[in-house]
Amino acid sequence: MLIAQAPAVALQGSGSRDWERLLSGEARGPFASLARLGLWLASGLYGIGWWLREAFRKKPIQLARPVISVGNLTVGGTGKTPAVAWIARWLRDRDIRVTLLSRGYGADDNRQNDEALLLEELLPDVPHLQGPDRVETGKTAIDELESQLLLLDDGFQHHRMARDLDLVLIDATCPWGHGHLLPRGLLREPVGGLRRAHAVLLTRCDQVDAARLADLRAFLQRKFPDLPVVLTRHHAVGLAREGEDDLLPLDGLRGRDVAAFSGIGRPEAFRKTLEQIGARVIEQRVFPDHFAYDRKSVRDLRHWASSLPEGTVMACTRKDLVKLRMPDLGGRPLYAPHVELEILEGQNTLEALLEKQCEAALAAEQSDNDSVIHLRELDEPSGYAGPIIEEQP
């Protein structure tokens, strides 16, 4: 995967993994070695900054309602949006008033970013507040939206707000970000940070072989013996297309020549999803994560699409589709696989953790209601008019 500062990089064959090969150490030669050395030095500076931040971290602010955080150890896509959607839907099915809180990374001019646009489509009855000060947006959700529970998106490194349940997603295809902190690897913090987590969700377990998955589970069990591990996968259940209210069958891509493009953290995972559907990916273009499509990039996509062989269809992620809002590109139909989280193992464990937060949310709301009633009773006249003084004759 090669993601540069240019609007997009066409990826074909082995060139699609150039950046991954550099970070993983697969790329050889003097240039690759010098590049890794420079990245390693920068990683050391990042580590010093992380240590200083940890050393001077202030006590987190506890809000009046339970907070569930869904986060990562690494940068890039771990499949967080389908996981957030699954949890929010689970809570709503139990009539819990939940609000999503996110920083809004990649949003321009106070507009919603791609994740917010997609979650709005998937969860129309769940409010989503974006802003850099998530403590303030959390208070707004409680005071103005009467939220019973807050779901913090990408919150594992957000230490300003106290969390009642920390769920960490780990991509089984690249769990430790090539073993180094940014920018030499993809780790936001050392792996030991998992000691703060209450549970781990391993994502894309279907994209690694059984031996590799067993090794990953054994490592977690050895290093963090009390940490529950939930196994999941992301699977396509249909195709979204602009202008269609319902999902279309996956047959729209199965057995077809597909030209794919995406602006997400791990585009190779998107390609694997297409291949699992049965699509033949003949070309692929990668944009930077959270890419904002402008006129030039759309014009380039249309030109690319119109130059493809007859019968080729276009495919992007739903995050890209909600920004493009186009049913076709260059005369080719444009589809986006709709991917959902499926729990393969450990659902009872996860649901027990969520159920505990539901109970805490209801208890907190009841406590507030009781306090309001008590204050009202104190303010009401008691009927006591003071001592009776008999007049003297």
Strand-pairing partners, residue 165, are 68
CA distances from 194 to 71, 168, 255, 296 (A): 11, 8, 41, 42
What is the arithmetic mean of pLDDT over 66-77? Answer: 94
Give the chain's mean pLDDT: 90
Contact between 61 and 67 (Cβ < 8 Å): no
364 band by pLDDT with thresholds 50, 70 and 90: very high
- Alpha-carbon distance 24 to 17, whole Å? 10
Residue 49: the pLDDT is 95
pLDDT in tens, 341-362: 999 999 999 999 999 999 999 9
CATH superfamily assigned to domain 67-228+346-362? P-loop containing nucleotide triphosphate hydrolases (3.40.50.300)
Residue that is written with structure tokens 């649901």 in the block: 351
User: How do 280-286 and 149-153 pair as beta strands?
Assistant: unpaired
Report the percent of the chain where pLDDT is more than 90. 78
What is the arithmetic mean of pLDDT over 313-335? Answer: 96
Which range, of 7-16, 148-157, 195-204, 328-337, averages the lowest pLDDT? 7-16
Q: What is the DSSP letter of 218?
A: H
Q: Rg of the chain's alpha carbons, rounded to an integer?
A: 25
**CA-based nearest residue to 99, from 57, 131, 60, 77:** 131
What is the arithmetic mean of pLDDT over 168-194? Answer: 96
What is the arithmetic mean of pLDDT over 276-291? Answer: 94
Report the percent of the chain where pLDDT is more than 70. 89
**CA-based nearest residue to 172, from 136, 135, 210, 146:** 210
Quick check: 135 pLDDT over 50? yes
C-alpha angle 297-129-370 in degrees, rounded to nearest 5: 170
Say how many C-beta atoms besides its own lie within 10 A of residue 378's C-beta. 8
275 band by pLDDT with thresholds 50, 70 and 90: very high
pLDDT higher at 17 or 14: 17
Residue 294: the pLDDT is 94
Residue 247: the pLDDT is 97
Q: How many residues does the chain have?
A: 393
C-alpha angle 136-82-302 in degrees, rounded to nearest 5: 100
C-alpha angle 127-131-134 in degrees, rounded to nearest 5: 85
390 band by pLDDT with thresholds 50, 70 and 90: very low
382 band by pLDDT with thresholds 50, 70 and 90: low
Question: Chain-centre distance of CA 50, in angstroms?
Answer: 22
pLDDT in tens, 123-133: 999 999 999 99
C-alpha angle 336-339-340 in degrees, rounded to nearest 5: 155
24 band by pLDDT with thresholds 50, 70 and 90: confident
Residue 21: the pLDDT is 82
State both tokens at 390: 């008999």
77 band by pLDDT with thresholds 50, 70 and 90: confident
Quick check: 380 pLDDT over 80? no
